[in-house]
């Protein structure tokens, strides 16, 4: 895992994870989960519990949130959550500080989003925040599997015609690191998101940054 900044690495495509990498979204996710649980008469979860459920797609998020003893309510939860989250997904969700300057800096590069989040939610959020930066967006329900499976990352490279050696994935979880490596590309882990730092480091990302602006030093 490199922290060196002396020689920027040439890339043609930057693939970003969404939650915890591009956007700070955990507050709106937690609010929508608890609105869902409350409507269904199920016990509410603490924010920290819900934050720990994020990263593997909405279905796993809600299965964990409703709890083992309430799996019969899962389909109801999925339906109710959709309404609450679509109504509230832009209440507090914003690009992390520093992200927009980074995206502007790399205007001349191809950029994409590959997220385990459902595409419906992803597109609404990006439309609200400004999605003109991205040449391609793929979500967890597009049929390419969820990270750490490599399918969506491989799909993005194929769609944009970029070779693995000229591509980097930026993300805040072990799913991102392992998914990128399985797709044959290098990965830059971010320490400002929701991921477990020790677990990410154990997956041996090529780079580890603390602030988005560091991307401008690492890549050219």
Give me 142's structure tokens: 């597009």
Q: Does any domain span residue 6?
A: no
Query: 209 near 215, Cβ under 8 Å?
Result: yes
Q: Is 50 inside a domain boundary?
A: yes
Q: Which of 50, 69, 88 is the last residue of a domain?
A: 88
Does residue 114 share a domain with residue 191?
Answer: yes
20, 57: one domain: no
For residues 82 and 109, membership in a common domain is answered with: no
CATH code for the domain of 105 = 3.40.50.1000
The residue annotated as part of the active site, out of 17, 19, 172, 176, is: 17
In a domain, 2, yes or no: no
Q: Active site includes 141?
A: no
Last residue of a domain, one of 53, 70, 88: 88
- Total domain count, the chain: 2
Residue range 82-103, pLDDT digits in tens: 999 999 999 999 999 999 999 9
Across the range 108-121, mean pLDDT stands at 97
pLDDT score for 6: 60
Residue 197 near residue 187 (C-beta atoms within 8 A): no
Residues of the domain holding 80: 26-88
Q: Are residues 82 and 107 in the same domain?
A: no
User: What is the phi/psi pair of residue 206, to 5°?
Assistant: -70, -30
Residues 214 and 199 grouped into a single domain: yes
**pTM for the complete prediction?**
0.93
**136 by DSSP, 3-state: which?**
strand
Task: Please provide the size of the chain in residues.
Answer: 220
**4 falls in which pLDDT band (50, 70, 90)?**
very low
In percent, the amount of the chain with pLDDT more than 90 equals 95
Q: Who's near 35: CB < 8 A, 6+ residues apart?
A: 80, 84, 88
pLDDT reading at 9 higher than 90: yes
């Amino acid at each position: 895992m490199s922290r060196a900044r002396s020689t920027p690495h040439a890339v043609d495509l930057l693939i970003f994870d969404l939650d915890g990498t591009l956007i700070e979204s955990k507050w709106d996710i937690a609010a929508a989960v608890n609105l869902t649980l409350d409507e269904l008469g199920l016990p509410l979860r603490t924010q920290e519990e819900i934050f720990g459920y994020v990263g593997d797609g909405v279905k796993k998020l809600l299965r964990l949130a409703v709890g083992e003893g309430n799996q019969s309510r899962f389909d109801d939860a999925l339906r109710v959550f959709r309404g609450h989250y679509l109504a509230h997904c832009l209440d507090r969700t914003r690009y992390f500080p520093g992200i927009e300057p980074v995206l502007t800096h790399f205007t001349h590069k191809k950029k994409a989003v590959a997220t385990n989040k459902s595409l419906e939610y992803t597109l609404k959020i990006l439309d609200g925040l400004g999605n003109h930066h991205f040449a391609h967006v793929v979500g967890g329900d597009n049929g390419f599997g969820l990270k750490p499976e490599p399918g969506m990352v491989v799909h993005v490279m194929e769609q944009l015609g970029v070779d693995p050696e000229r591509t980097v994935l930026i993300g805040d979880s072990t799913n991102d690191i392992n998914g990128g490596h399985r797709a044959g590309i290098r990965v830059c882990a971010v320490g400002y998101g929701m991921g477990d730092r020790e677990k990410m480091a154990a997956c041996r990302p090529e780079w580890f940054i603390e602030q988005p602006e560091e991307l401008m030093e690492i890549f050219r």
